[in-house]
Amino acid sequence: MVLMQISHRLSGTPGVKQAALMMGTDQNKPFLAQCGFRGQEIDGAQASDLIICVEAEDEKVLAEIGALAESLLRERGRRPRRGRHYASLEGAHDSFPEANLALISVPGPFAGREARKALARGLHVFLFSDNVPLEEEIALKEIAARQGLLLMGPDCGTAVLNGAGLGFANALRRGPVGIIGSSGTGIQEVCVLLEKMAGLGISQAVGTGGRDLSDAVDARSTLSALEFLKNDPETRIVVLLSKPPSERVAEKVLRAAQGLGKPLVFCFLGQRGEGAAAKGPGLHFARTLEDAARKAVALCFPHADLSFFQVFEKMKGAALAAHARLKPQQKFLRGLFSGGTFCYEAIDLLRDPLGGLYSNLSFPGVARLQDRFISRGSTLLDMGEDQFTRGRVHPMLDPQDVGERMIREAEDPTVGGILFDLVLGFGTHPDPSSVLVPAILQARERADRDGRVLAFTAHVCGTDKDPQDGKKQEKALMEAGVFLLPTNVQAARMAFTILTGKESWK
């Protein structure tokens, strides 16, 4: 984060075209090459070496920037640490014995060890760390289940427990809806939609980790979360979110859900129909995150106004007008997502009607991108995947990489539209539109020079109470000419109509 912040500061200096400060890891070097920074010094750099790359107008600016970079690095090194610091989990818990939960965010190879320490002390665990071995995940969840504890994760991005947000979470009101999700941004999207469309709050939101509904992990965290929400007096309705689970595990989970005594809306992204396992009292199938929020609202308020989900109908005229301005060769869409679930949902929606999709995510019928830095045809990218974030911060923390990718995609004369998301909340970038809007304007300028029109479509996952102020972020994007839709589903549909001129993908 320190290096990314200094890079921003240098890049905004007059006379500087671009700047990048990175450690000399094998993951960072290809990114520098894509930015045009190549040379023997970079090739020979070690993982412990700091690489400072600057493209400037002249040697004088370059010298000034070098001195500024050294000054900023020294300044960051002198800053005092805030808060109380402990050398171990044991030391922290001993000083705060009333704590009942540990949040663990250390490199994957060490995360299991710390989680075991927390469980041994009777603490619930929010395991933010990724790259935790599968065998370790199973062992940790078995320990937690035996002790009646929640093990959220690994790679758990979001949870909200008794009003306290963990990881990436939005500013939300309390309410009757409990959420269980293997996806952080999936949880955020449903929470935000409940808030925006009906002022409906949540009781609890429990993350499980992306592998929990696999055959191997066998829904250990999901089943514990169901039991937790069953006994939670504030929870009246439960929403269950996941990518396609194992069929056997799905049946197991939905059988358990029938014993909740509370209605359950389940959304297994990518699943086309309810399936045999869904047949039972109190179970409601939703294909998309939008649909899951809609059905949860309808269960609470049967006569609720659902016009919030019909914004696209009001904007399709603008989409058709944008399509008419595209050149014949502008046939392809580029999707740049900081939320992996948003990327997955967009792929699910666009795969059949658009056809020929490429991605860095595995999805049936979608070609795997050979080089993550080079898009082909219509490409939808999860910019938060490990191959983009090893040695770099997640785009929700800093969307600079997304902005730079926008500019590169704009150079492709076959691209007609760029689809992206903006995720707000505690822990994310304090003002992401301030990073992306300049990139959007620069990308559009490059297209304009070639006589092309480039359409940007987005949706903002956040509330007006978030630290970034959702209204402020949305206003900045709209002033930059971005087509803004209230849900990821509607943004994908808008991008599809702009690209194809078709009002419906059905």
Q: In this structure, which amino acid lies at residue 485? A: L
49 shares its domain with 198? no
Tens digit of pLDDT at every position of the chain (506 positions): 677 778 778 877 888 888 888 888 887 888 788 778 989 999 999 988 999 989 988 988 888 888 888 888 888 656 666 778 898 999 999 999 999 999 999 888 899 999 999 999 999 999 999 889 999 999 999 999 999 999 999 999 999 999 999 999 999 999 999 999 998 999 999 999 999 988 999 999 999 999 999 999 999 999 999 999 999 999 999 999 998 888 899 999 999 999 899 999 999 988 776 654 556 778 999 999 999 999 999 999 988 887 777 888 899 999 999 999 999 999 999 999 999 999 999 999 999 999 899 999 999 999 999 988 899 999 999 998 877 776 667 899 889 889 999 999 999 999 999 999 999 999 899 999 999 999 999 999 999 999 999 999 999 999 999 999 999 999 999 999 999 999 999 999 999 999 999 988 76
pLDDT digit string (tens) for 398-454?
898 899 999 999 999 999 999 999 999 998 999 999 999 999 999 999 999 999 999
Residue 310: what pLDDT?
81
Domain boundary among 304, 321, 346: 304
Residue 162: what pLDDT?
94
103 shares its domain with 241? yes
274 shares its domain with 160? yes
Q: Report the C-alpha gap between 1 and 3 in whole angstroms.
A: 5
Specify the 3-state DSSP secondary structure of 406: helix
The count of C-alpha atoms lying within 13 angstroms of the C-alpha of 21, restricted to the half-sphere facing its C-beta, is: 19
Domain boundary among 31, 48, 78: 78
Domain housing 112:
89-304
Residue 390: what pLDDT?
66
20 shares its domain with 113? no
Nearest to 178 by CA among 257, 290, 270, 245: 257
pLDDT digit string (tens) for 33-59?
877 898 999 999 998 899 998 998 898
Residue 83 lies in a domain: no
213 shares its domain with 298? yes
277 shares its domain with 382? no
Residue 226 lies in a domain: yes
247 shares its domain with 125? yes
365 shares its domain with 336? yes
Domain boundary among 24, 53, 78: 78
300 shares its domain with 361? no
Residue 506 lies in a domain: no
Number of domains in the chain: 3
Residue 10 lies in a domain: yes
Instruction: Calculate the CA dihedral of residues 293, 299, 303, 305 and round it to 10 degrees.
Output: -10
318 shares its domain with 299? no
324 shares its domain with 430? yes
368 shares its domain with 252? no
Residue 84 lies in a domain: no
Residue 505 lies in a domain: no
Residue 406 lies in a domain: yes
Question: How many whole angstroms from its chain centre is CA 153?
Answer: 15
Residue 315 lies in a domain: yes
Nearest to 461 by CA among 353, 345, 363: 345
CATH of the domain at 440: 3.40.50.261
Cβ density class 401-436: b for 16+ within 10 Å, e for less: bbbbbbbbbbebeebbbbbbbbbbbebbbeebbebb
Residue 276: what pLDDT?
44
